[in-house]
Amino acid sequence: MFCECLSRLPAQLSHWRPCSSDNPQAWQQLPTATRERVIAGGEHFLKKEIPFLSASQYLAFSREGDRVIYEKPYFLRRRILCHLVTAECCENKGRFLDRIVDLIWAICEETAWQIPAHNAYVRDSRQEVLPDQNRPVIDLFAAETGALLAMTYYLLKPRLDEVSPLICERIEQEMQKRIFTPYLDCHFWWMGRGDEPMNNWTPWCTQNVLVAAALLPVGEVVQKSVIRKAAYSLDCFVNQYGDDGCCDEGAQYYGAAAVCLFGALDILSSLAPEAFQSIWQQPKLRAMADFILKVHVADKYYLNFSDCSPVAGRRSGREFYFAKRMDNQPLMAFTAQDFLKDTDPDMLDDVFLSGGINLYYAVLQLFSEDEMRNCTLQPTCTPSVFLPSTQLLIARHGDYVLGAKAGCNDDSHNHNDTGSVTLYKNAEPFLVDIGVENYTKKTFSPQRYEIWTMQSGWHNLPRFGEVDQNAGAEYCARDVRYEIGQTQSELSADIASAYPPIEGLSYYHRRSVLTADGLQIQDETDYPAPVSLTLMLLHQPTVEGNVIHVGTLGSITCSDCSISCQAVPITDSRLRAAWPDTLWRVNIVFKGSLHLNIV
């Protein structure tokens, strides 16, 4: 798709000017309330000291598995810079410039821009304990740092030059050393090679390298070299997707995957419109854009799987801007309305910074915000759909929304969850997928599946004795069938092959049927001993005979079985962003077959 366009590269590239934000007058035309909010944020961060970064903080990851001790000050440095630059652009009085220069200098003085958890030269290999300044690694956040400095250069170069031309010269030197030379001379796994599996790293890193190449004075030879390498990487990424556009990493990674792809395309189609402009209308890219609509339940909730949280974040100006580029009015309407639902009064964590360190995202948000607030488009109802690439059924009937997954245990950010279901009733979580705790050294290591949230026994799935599902493409559902109708949708599969060989087990058929009256789950197996089925609930259950009352939300009626309940304390801060301090695990023990009526 992208590489096919390279033959149409023009002799001379055009320019990319994100929202014409290099024009000081453009910032003065932003709504007064927006500018005042941004300036207030800048004033807050102007009072903060530049955080200290040390070798011992870096070493804490290899020694103790602690990511936070280095990452917290690392990201705060970049967040402060992002706030101060946007504040200076809005005010245009030079009040924030000295601290901006201090932060540029501090970041340029860092030994490395890659974080400790990513300090490796080979995919899935052990991280080096300290960075080698002569062999920079381009990871997610080295690339983001490059984009941040490039945007700072683009927005403020005339004013920085008034302080000293050496500031922008330093940015150019460090970017050449840490970004452009390693990008063009080295191969990092996320760049793609043949059919090697890619994930959100590919468009995320590629987009940010393109930001830097488009905005800094690197010359057309370097720009075209970056474009050619970027095109190959983006093709490797897009080729991983099915035609249905499903992101196997889930809704929370949509912004780092598909939306970063659109960011890269925005740059490419601005630099060489005659080559890349037509890609905006490619059906697969449009399907990738619509994925977020398909998995949205209501308000803040999404159907989740893998490492994704059910609270996947509000949409922002990035999605609105790219939906507009695609003339995708349903996505524009959804994005605008979802953005307006963000009622967080704390302007210091405002969505316009989209995580706090990407100045490109901040610009897209600020220059889209007024149009989003005044958007009159109305969201459309998303129908039930089956996504074949991941074998995910999303069904909507009456007050219920069901996510039923067959697939396999080889997704990006995988959890062993083949055959699991999630259910919402009246826009509230009923059967839940917990998500993942804060990332640690163990999260992306051979010990990943020692973490409880990754295990099938903590999803809405059966256990055979103490045996859970295994990870890997070969641990998958068989005989998968689905049906979508006006009044009923269903998914059926044999999920026994998602488990390691178990004596006496040759099949475990699960059939999930959703209607406007509720969800029916019919499980049947030839396993000769009792089976323990887990159900994860948000609301506290009470058991009355063969009926589980789920708070005031509904009930689960079971066929012949025994039932017990367990409180699950939720203490991890990442999980607490989605859940209260306690979830509930129901254990249903049955033999042969089980029928659940969930209403």
DSSP characters over 388-404: TTTTEEEEEETTEEEEE
Amino acid code (one letter) for 152: T
Q: What is the CATH number for 38?
A: 1.50.10.100
Total domains present in the chain: 2
Q: 246-272, pLDDT tens digit by residue?
A: 999 999 999 999 999 999 999 999 999
> pLDDT-derived band of residue 298, with 50, 70 and 90 as boundaries?
very high
Amino acid code (one letter) for 44: H
Picking from 333, 326, 332, 250, the residue whose alpha carbon sits closest to that of residue 295 is 250
Residues 391 and 357 in one domain: no
Q: What is the mean pLDDT of residues 75-90?
A: 96
CB count in 10 Å sphere of residue 458? 22
Q: What is the mean pLDDT of residues 562-590?
A: 97
CB count in 10 Å sphere of residue 3? 13
- Residues 133, 114 contacting (CB under 8 angstroms): no
Residues 368 and 422 in one domain: no
What domain range is 527 assigned to? 385-598
Domain for residue 415, yes or no?
Answer: yes
Q: 22-79, pLDDT tens digit by residue?
A: 999 999 999 999 999 999 999 999 999 999 999 999 999 999 999 999 999 999 999 9
Residues 131 and 55 in one domain: yes
CA 300 to chain centre: 15
How far is Cα 557 from Cα 545, in angstroms, rounded to an integer?
A: 9
392: left (phi over 0), alpha (psi -120 to 50) or beta: beta
Domain endpoint, select from 347, 373, 399: 373
pTM score, whole prediction: 0.94
pLDDT at 406 over 60: yes
Domain for residue 170, yes or no?
Answer: yes
Domain for residue 378, yes or no?
Answer: no
Domain endpoint, select from 373, 407, 441: 373
Amino acid code (one letter) for 350: D
Picking from 302, 317, 315, 491, the residue whose alpha carbon sits closest to that of residue 382 is 302
Report the alpha-carbon angle 335-404-436, nearest 5. Answer: 70
Residues 394 and 464 in one domain: yes
Domain endpoint, select from 333, 352, 373: 373
Residues 429 and 285 in one domain: no
Domain for residue 379, yes or no?
Answer: no
Residues 304 and 425 in one domain: no
Q: How far is CA 391 from CA 363, 387, 477, 482, 594, in A?
A: 37, 5, 9, 9, 23
Q: How far is CA 179 from CA 63, 95, 216, 423, 448, in A?
A: 28, 30, 12, 45, 31
- Residues 136, 114 contacting (CB under 8 angstroms): yes
Residues 145 and 206 in one domain: yes
How far is Cα 78 from Cα 74, in angstroms, rounded to an integer?
A: 7
Residues 421 and 551 in one domain: yes
Structure tokens at 439: 């990332």
Mean of pLDDT over the chain? 95
Phi, psi (deg, nearest 5) at residue 159:
-75, -35
